[in-house]
Amino acid sequence: MLGVLAAADVEFVEQPLAAGDLEGHAELRRHSTVPIVADESVHHRDDVPHLAEAFDAVNLKLAKLGGPLQALAALRTARALGMGVMLGCMIESSLGISAAVHLAGLADWVDLDGALLLAEDPFSGLAWTAGTVERPTGAGWGVVEVVQDTAGSPA
């Protein structure tokens, strides 16, 4: 399948095997021209050095790694090992997404759309347009809390 994906110009494949199957991922990587990216195999910055044989890149998620400083440390480790970096996210508010957006310039790929999956985002200030998200320029992370009325609806 990796050959088919390469012929279709697929940019990368994320976590095709189980999180603990590093040997399997390493074997896939040896036979693939499509970069193999770790997602579920990354839980902590200290995981990254153990993934350099099996993966071309890591998908770093601030909510999993423990915030922007832990993600930045993981990113620097990945770069020192010659790995690519994707910034990803969980389903989280614009507050969490904005923290990651501030690191986006350091990544090869950015997948920061989790707030768009929320029925009600408790923060506003991020704007996604045609597949891009702009780094907000306001104070702090650049987002503001949406004020709720007593019924829980945006005031």
- Residues lying near Mg ion in the complex (CB under 5 A) are found at 14, 39
Minimum CB separation from Mg ion for residue 15, in Å? 6
Minimum CB separation from Mg ion for residue 40, in Å? 7
Q: Based on CB atoms, which residue is closest to Mg ion, 71 or 143? A: 71
Minimum CB separation from Mg ion for residue 59, in Å? 6
Cβ proximity of 96 and 89 under 8 Å: yes
For the four alpha carbons of 146, 149, 152 and 155, in that order, the dihedral sign comes to negative
- Bridge-based pairing of strands 57-61 and 84-88 is parallel
Six-digit token string for 7: 């012929």
Q: Based on CB atoms, which residue is closest to Mg ion, 14 or 21? A: 14
Residue with the CB atom nearest Mg ion in the bound state:
39
Six-digit token string for 56: 């071309």
Q: Based on CB atoms, which residue is closest to Mg ion, 39 or 92? A: 39
Cβ proximity of 104 and 75 under 8 Å: no
